[in-house]
Structure 1
Amino acid sequence: MKREPRGAAHRYLSAALVGGIGVVTGAVHTYHFITDGPNSLLATISGIILPLCLSLAMAGSGWWLVRSNITDKQVTRIVSWSTMGAVVFIISGLLIIQYQQAQGVMMSDRVFILIDSATGGMAIGFAFGLYATRIKRRTLQLDRYQRRLEQERDRFVALLDNLPDPVIQYEHVDGTPTIRAVNPAFDRVFDADGATVDGIQISEVVVPPNQERAAIDLDTDLHSDKTLQHEIRLKTSAGIRDFQLIVIPPAVATTDGTGHIIATDVTENKQHVRRLEVLNRVLRHDLRNHAGVIIGNADLLIDKLSETTRAETIRDTANKLVELGDTVQQIEHALDRNNETTETVSLPEVLDECVRRARNEYPEADIRTEIPSNENMAVWANDQIDLVFDNVIENAIEHNDATTPTVTITITSTHTFTTVEIADNGPGLPDRERQVLQEGTETQLKHSLGLGLWLISWIVVDSGGDVAFEDNDPHGSIVSIDLPKADSKTAETVNKRSASSTRFVSE
């Protein structure tokens, strides 16, 4: 603890006063014992040894005051109490001596009696001052702790009051989860008054009638000993809605026997997902069937017509529709949240297989790889990560206007991530594609030309990675794909539900 020079000097002076008095009185007691010691053992103990011990204790106390971590102000307070104790005991000794003289009793060694009184008074005053100082310090600490608790409580109350999701504080009364308090959002969503629902069973307030199974499941979660998430349908002022509940039971939340429920309305999200699932299924089914009819009839026309250009265009377009449906199916499988889609992947093996397929399909392309052989290349990725590399390599070759399409694949590593860079010598990624992917959404006027780049972005982000599109020098594109290493903590803590982190860097 750093002290100001003035405060330090005052501290040393106060400590010297206590220690010095202890040394002086100790020396006096020793001299008294040597020159004129008491005749009895009791007098020796009470008049010499006990005061001498107190003097030595005071001398040590002076040293302790210098070395202790108490404040200079507290040192002054202790010394003041010591001085006051010495003065009070000296006055008491004088009054006793005067009283004895008035009674005709002449006391010998009056000076030593007063010194003994001063020693005892100073020791008692020091002890009392130290005790009072510690009590005061403890009181100040408790006051600060109380203020912090009040501040934390006020922040907690402000958080609950301003939280847009309904929150219920509950406790178990005779084993029944009972409402203790709710926030304003609960009043608004469930059209209830916090004062009227206080003390009412939770299921009676929020669970729809005739939903005994839902009430039982909710009651089970509220008695759990760990935090849970629970999907349930609840009755609100707007009708029955779907909610995602976060249940923080009393065993986890507090020590006062209360728990909390945070309810998030997910009705719109669930409806949106259901609609997309139906539209996706119908689209893929009907798209493939109708495209098959078109392809079959186009083949018949090609066989019968002398001019087959238009018929071939119809067939090629229908084949592209089939490929589009297959891509949608690949995306659906890769991002299926009902199954665990991430796993440990050997990056060199995946890239070798992707390069082999690309060389077989595009023999005219020059595909080069630079993969270190002395490093651990296991990554944590979506089990469809090979689709990412297939699409990037395919795009780099198919949209390449160079005489010899050249694709270079390199791998570099950091402590937590492995980066795959796929560079080409083509025309580069169009600004239209960059803008759409950068904004993360499409409109009727601004949209991507296909699903390939979306597939790349979504699978990489689902893997807990990052994808960046840069301009190559002098021309072409570089696609950088970062994936968490399987032996790093990044792979364990990666949030596979995060929003897209696609980056763009333009020269």
Structure 2
Amino acid sequence: MKRFLDRWMGLVIIWALGGGLFLTHLAQAIRLDESLQTVVLGILLPATTNIGVLLGGIWLWRSDFNAAAIRRIGGWCVIGSIVLSLSATLTFRAQRATDVQLADQEFVVLTAASVGLLVGFVIGLYDAQRHRQKQQIQAREQALHDLHMTTRNLVTMTDREAIADRAVEAAHDILDLPISGCWLYDDSEESLVPVAITNEGTELIPDVPTYTGEGSLSWEAFETGEVMTFDDVTDDSNRLRSETLIRSEIILPLGDYGVMNIGSPETGAFDEIDVSLARILAANTRTALERADRDHQLATARDEATQLNRHLTVLNRVFRHDLRNSANVIQGHAELLVEETNDAIGDSARTIRDQATDLVTLSEQVRDIERILQSESYERQPVDLVELISTQLDRVERDRPAVETDGPNLDRCLVSAHPLVESAIRNVVDNAVEHNDKQTPRVDVTLSQSENWVEVRIADNGPGIPDDEVAVLERGYETPLEHTNGLGLWLVSWIVRESGGEVDFQERSPRGSVVSVQFEKASQEIPTEDGTVEH
């Protein structure tokens, strides 16, 4: 009621001024006997401006100007009429003071008031329009700001229906679009199911439809991915319902997730700004749905990976434990057979012993690989390569007297490496010996240093590493047709990578292979168990 009275207040001012001045001019035309020129200029012309103001008031009454804008225009009408009539009156008084007397002063003052009324109406209309545009710009900026804040809130949500609810709420509260809803795609039903509708929407359409591919504009927008706008949706024969209370409509696709519909019972209710802001809201909603979907997939994959890791940990422990125990039993009995027999049975016993030894080694390699895969908390530490290499070469000479070795002629060489680097060097040396077909296998280990790096070169005189195995190691993964022989070289590659170094496999001339491993230099200090530093 108050808004109604406020709106009529401005109109009453305009009509009262226009009507009052018109009646005054009409009374003058009837009462006075004036010349034609005076009647035209002093009565008919001002009366015409008054009629124009009265018609302008009627136009304002039917326009979409709010009460404040109409009051503003009425105020300018009062100001214009008063200013020009006072100006005319003051002019007459100034001229009277100089003994200049003008005729028809009453006509001139009334004419000035009428002209001022028209000028005030025009200025007020311009001022109200400019003020309205300013308010629209401010409202648009505020809407964009609120949409930005809504987006920040949307992307934190993980539930699809909660995102749809927030989007519909934003359309209602921020964009001032009271009739809106979200339909999300349901894989099981192959349809767009309503999940969030404003109260105004359910009041207008109590039976909210589910959209399928049969005769539905929403489904068409969903499939094409194109925004659809209608000034009067009843003009489109493809609509789902022939009888609908919705006239204006905006249908916004949300990618593969569904559509967002905005409607109005009035025709031509949405302008370009409404469509533009609705597009932004739909794009933000789609982004939030994509993020929620991605987070759900990641969470599912994470849970599956955690469960799988637990299963693999149990299987790996049981496998390594049982395999090692069984292999040790086989190895022990094979040793007894080798010592007690010298014939073909002895040869078979030696084969059994060697295979059991390989199984024990495989078990140890699996253990080391598991430690690498679960070594996020491990830090690189200083390691003396000279001592490590000497230990491995001494072991080989002790266990295999036929093997000749040659190590680096250095006292110390510290590198920064993973705690399992000893396993990497051991596997390279063992690989050089075990696959060597020479009567006198030979392993030569050299060290070379630059300013920041140390290179270890382990060379042998065996048949070399097959090219297809080198290709697999360099590629980083195996296939059923392309794979390495065992886990040793994989273990080397992974430990060196975790050490921040590089490994390279080369051919040795005239025969054999060279495994080159690079490590970053460490400071000349090694921490001991009691916390002191060994130099």
TM score, norm. by length of structure 2? 0.41
What TM-score do you get using the length of structure 1 for normalisation?
0.43
